[in-house]
Amino acid sequence: MIQWATLTDPVEVHDLTALSFEQPCLIFKHSTSCSISAIAKYRLESDWDFPAAELKPYLLDLLAHRNLSRMIAEHFDVHHESPQVLLIKGGICTYDTSHLDISVDELHECYESKF
C-alpha cells in the first residue's frame, strides 16, 4: 500500500530533490476532478509493491496547488501533464509519463533500467 507524502509547498520540492540523492522519489500529479487521474491513482495504489525504503511516493493535488505543479515542471524540466508521474533520482527527473501510461509495471521497468 502506498504511504503518500503530500506536496503542498515549494520547500517540500527542494527537500524531495535533496532526498532523491539518497532514495529515488516518485511524484504523482493528480487532478481530483479528472476521471483518468482517478483511474491512474487507483491503479498505482492497488498494484503498488515498492518497499518503502526503495521508492518514496509523493502526491500533488493539482487543483489545490496549481502554482506548485508549474514550479515542479520547471524545476525538473518536464512538460506539465495531468495526471503525470515523475521519477526523481539524483536531483533530476529520469522518467515521466502521463494518463493511462501510468502503471506500477512501467515504473518497475524504468526503475530497474535507471537505477
For every residue of 55-93, DSSP letters joined together read -EEEEEETTT-HHHHHHHHHHTT----SSEEEEEETTEE
**Cell digits of residue 43:** 491503479
Residue with cell 530497474: 112
pLDDT score recorded for residue 115: 55
Q: Which amino acid makes up residue 86?
A: L
Contacting residues for 54 by C-beta, under 8 A, at least 6 apart? 23, 24
pLDDT digits (tens, 9 = 90+) for 7-66: 999 999 999 999 999 999 999 999 999 999 999 999 999 999 999 999 999 999 999 999
**pLDDT tens digit sequence for 75-115:** 999 999 999 999 999 999 999 999 999 999 999 988 877 65
CATH of domain 5-114: 3.40.30.10
